[in-house]
Amino acid sequence: MQGAHIASWLMNKKGKIHSYDFQYDTQVDVTQLNISWIRYPSNANTLLPKIPFPFALYNLPQPATTWGLPSGILVNDHCPFFPNAQRAIAQLMYEVTDPNQLGATNQGYYIRFASDEARIKHIEIAPLLLSVEIDGTNLSGTRLQISGPPELNFEAEISQSQRVDCPLPQEMPPEVWIVLSRGSDWLDHSYISQRWSPFRQHSDNATFSPPDIRTQIQELIAQGEGLTVEYKQDIPPDHDKMLKTVVAFANGNGGAILLGVTDDGDVAGIRPSENINREKDRIINMIRNKVYPDPEVRIEHCDMDGEGTYVIAIFIDKGASPLYSLHYEKPEVYVRRQATTFRARPDEIAALVLINQPRIGYPS
C-alpha cells in the first residue's frame, strides 16, 4: 500500500481498498495533531517488523485519548459488530481479541513511508575485502563512503545498481560506517561494530566470510578462555561436563569449545578414539542425544602443525529457542558466567524465558 493512499484516507476521512469503501468520523482534525517522525536506515531495529529499505516513521498520538473515538457499541449494516472501538482496533489492526493483550505501549498508530531511491542491499565482509551491493530507483549523483578507524577511508560515485569492492588495509576495523548520500542528505547507512567472529556469520544485510579454520582457531586461542571460548585437552570421560558448556553457550551468545587445547592455551592435540571424522560424528551424536532442543552446532577440525596435531572446534550458535537444557526427562539449565559454566539460578531461567518470549507485533 502506497503512503499517498494512507495520507489521503487521513485527510479525507474515507477511502477505498479493493472493493471495500469506508469512511470514519473523528472529533479531531488529524492534520492538526502533533505528529512525531524520524528517519531510519534499511533493516533498522524498531518496534515494527524490519524492512530492507530506508524509511520515515510517523507516530500518531494514542487513539483512545486524542482521536475522540466513540465509546459505545460499534454496529452498522454489512459491517462486523464490536462492543467498543478499543476491541475493534485490537482485532482489526493487531489481530488479538483482547485489548489488554496489547499492553500500554501498543495503543498507537504508526505510518511508515519506505524509500526505494537508494539502499545498501547487502554487505559481504572477508578478511581483507569489504563488498557493498547497492541498488535503487534513483542512484544518479549518489556517493558511497566507507570509514573505519584507524585508516579506512573509501569513497566512490554511484550512478547505477552495482557491487563496490573496498580493500581493507590490514583487517576488518573494530567499527565501520557505510553511508549512501546525495549532497547533504543521507539516503541509507549501515554500522558494523565488531570484527569477524565465529559466532556472527551473518546479520540482516551482511555476511561475514570467515578466514581459514586454522586462523579461526589461532584467533580463539589468542583471545583466551572467557564468556564464549572454552578449552579442553580431550573429551572428558563424563560427557555431561562438556555438554553443560554446549547448553550454556546456546543459552547465551554462542561460543566455541576447542578440543586439543590445554587450559594454558597450548596446542596439545586431541587423541581421537578412532579417526578424526568419526570423532566429530561421535560428538554430534552426544549433543543430539542429550541437549534439548537441538542447538545449531558446527564442528571443524584442523591439523595445526601438519604432523597430526589435531584441534576440533565445536561452534555453538546463540539459540533461537527460549531455553536449552541438558537431558529431557529431568532438564538441567546452564549459563556462562565469565569463563565458567554454572547451573542456572531460578532468576536466570526466568530472565532467559522473558528475553526470548515472542512479542506481539506492531502493524507495518
Domains of the chain as residue ranges with CATH: 3-114 (no CATH), 119-208 (2.60.40), 213-355 (3.30.950.30)
pLDDT attached to residue 32: 59
Q: By C-alpha distance, which of 143, 142, 146 is closest to 125?
A: 146
Looking at the chain, the whole-number percentage of residues with pLDDT higher than 90 is 43
pLDDT attached to residue 298: 92
Integer-rounded Cα Rg, in Å, for the chain is 27
Across 84-95, average pLDDT:
77
Q: Which of 19-28, 108-117, 257-266 has the lowest mean pLDDT?
A: 19-28
* Confidence (pTM): 0.54
Q: How far apart are CA 108 and CA 67, in angstroms?
A: 10
- Crossing angle of helices 276-290 and 239-251, in 10° steps, is 70
Maximal C-alpha separation, the chain: 83
In this structure, which amino acid lies at residue 194?
Q
More confident residue, 359 or 227: 227
More confident residue, 30 or 284: 284
Q: How far apart are CA 49 and CA 56, in angstroms?
A: 14
Average pLDDT, the chain: 83
In the sheet with 55-60, reading across from the earlier edge strand, the strands are: 36-40, 55-60, 109-114
Q: Which of 64-73, 175-184, 260-269, 307-316 has the lowest mean pLDDT?
A: 64-73
Q: What is the pLDDT of residues 10-62, one digit of tens each?
A: 677 777 776 667 676 655 555 556 677 899 999 988 878 889 999 998 887 66
71-99 as b/e, with b when 16 or more CB fall inside 10 Å?
A: eeeeeeeeeeebeebbebbbeeebeeeeb
